[in-house]
Structure formats: C-alpha cells, structure tokens
Amino acid sequence: MMTGILALQGAFAEHAACLARLGEPCRLIRKPEELHGVDRLILPGGESTAQRKLLETTGLFSPIRELLREGMPVMGTCAGLILLAQEVAGAPPCFGILPVEVQRNAYGRQLGSFFVQGQVGELTDVPMRFIRAPYVARVLSEEVEVLNVTEGRITAVRWRNCLGLAFHPELTEDLRLYQCF
Ligand code: GLN
C-alpha cells in the first residue's frame, strides 16, 4: 500500500518519518501526477488557510477531493482535520467530506498548546500533543464515531475511511494510530 502525504506545508516530514519507522512506503505529494498509485492519504498539521491556498495553486484540490469522495482512506491531523470537515466555524469548508463541524484554534494562543495522554478508541495511554488545535464542535452524522474527548471537547473521530485527529501523532513516539490507520 502506498501512502501519499500532502506535502505543501506543515508537518509532512514527521509523518513520513513515522511511516519509515513502520517500514511502510510513502510518497510526498506536491503535484497532481504524484497521486497516481496512491492507496491512502495523510493530510498533515500546519496552517489550514495556507494549505487551502496551495491546494488551489498546485491543482491538487480537485483530484484529492475526487479521491476522497470515492472513499480513499485518509488521516487528517490538526489542520488536516480542518481540511476534511464538512463545516468550519466562521469559514467555508475545504474538502467538506467528514460530517463534523470544527472550530479552529480552539485552544487559543500558541502558548495554549498542551500535551495529555488518554484513550483514543480502543487504544489506551495515547500521547496527544495539541498545537493551536481545532476541536469537533458538532458531529453531523450518526455514523461518526467519537474516539476521544479531552477537556470536554471531541478531538478524534472516525467516519467510514476517514480518521480525523485534532492532535499530532507524528510528534510522539507512539505509532499505534498509524497501525490502526
Ligand atoms: N491552527 C491551525 C489551523 O487553523 C492548525 C494547527 C495545527 O495544525 N497544528 O490551520
């Protein structure tokens, strides 16, 4: 299985390093041709507004949206979760595939970033690093499975082939979420 990692901006190299540790092949995606032969996608954290602009200018927006609509498995972390969400509070959606509403920068200033360990789905003691993280303000379908709630806020969801995480698994040593994905 070839994993494509959107590599326009943000923490894509860290995701690639995690997959390398698992012995999984991956390809950094910067232009549409690079999507050929990709079986699943990772949308990294970073700055969702910058990523949206780059998706348009590189011509990647439409082909990725098409692949996601066809059901390609995807893991979106932090800004990646924002890109996947059907609704983004105060802004238009990007791919609009994952039936949740997200609130951006929910933990306020960068200084509000924090680290906790907790349950994510079946996994226990998962290290979770939040950096100006969004959270899921509303779930828009009964099919959405809530995998984690931290400080009263939904931070991890699964819907069909989509895994949406408000935190950064690529910035920890724990590879279990990649294995699940
Ligand atoms: N605050 C960022 C955004 O809105 C997301 C932060 C992150 O990916 N670490 O895009």
Give the total residue count for the chain. 181
159-170: burial string, b at 16+ Cβ within 10 Å, e else: bebbbbbbbbbb
Band of the pLDDT at 108, cuts 50, 70, 90? low
The rounded distance, in Å, linking the Cα atoms of 69 and 49 is: 21
Per-domain residue ranges of the chain: 3-180
Structure confidence by residue, pLDDT tens digits, 42-85: 999 999 999 999 999 999 999 999 999 999 999 999 999 999 99
The three-class DSSP label of residue 123 is strand
Indicate if ligand 1 lies below 6 Å from the C-beta of 105: yes
Cβ(47) – ligand 1 distance below 6 Å: yes
Residue 66 Cα to ligand 1 middle (Å): 24
Residue 15 falls in the annotated catalytic set? no
Q: Answer yes or no: 78 catalytic.
A: yes
Q: What is the pLDDT of residue 109?
A: 52
Atom of ligand 1 lying closest to residue 130 CA: 9
d(CA 3, CA 25): 7
Contact 74, 161 (CB under 8 A): yes
Look at residue 134 in the predicted model and tell me its pLDDT. Answer: 95
Phi-psi region of 160 (alpha: psi -120 to 50; beta: other; left: phi over 0): left
CA dist 132 → 1, 17, 179 (Å): 32, 22, 25
Residue 68, SS3? helix
The answer to whether 36 is a known catalytic residue is no
Residue position matching structure tokens 């092949």: 25
- Which CATH number describes the domain made up of 3-180? 3.40.50.880
Per the CB < 8 A criterion, the answer to whether 26 and 4 are in contact is yes
pLDDT tens digit sequence for 121-167 = 999 999 999 998 999 999 999 999 999 999 899 999 999 999 999 99
- Tell me the whole-structure pTM to 2 decimals: 0.96
Per-residue pLDDT averaged across 34-39, rounded? 98
Which residue in 78, 142, 143, 145 is the catalytic one? 78
C-alpha 39 – ligand 1 centre gap (Å) = 25
Ligand 1 and 60: CB distance under 6 A: no
Residues 148 and 155 sit within 8 Å (Cβ to Cβ): yes
pLDDT at residue 100, rounded to an integer? 98
Query: Which residue puts its alpha carbon closest to atom 8 of ligand 1?
Result: 45
Q: Model confidence over 15-29: pLDDT tens digits?
A: 999 999 999 999 999
pLDDT in tens, 88-107: 999 999 999 999 999 998 76
* Ligand 1 pocket test target in 110, 115, 131 with most atoms within 8 Å of CB: 131
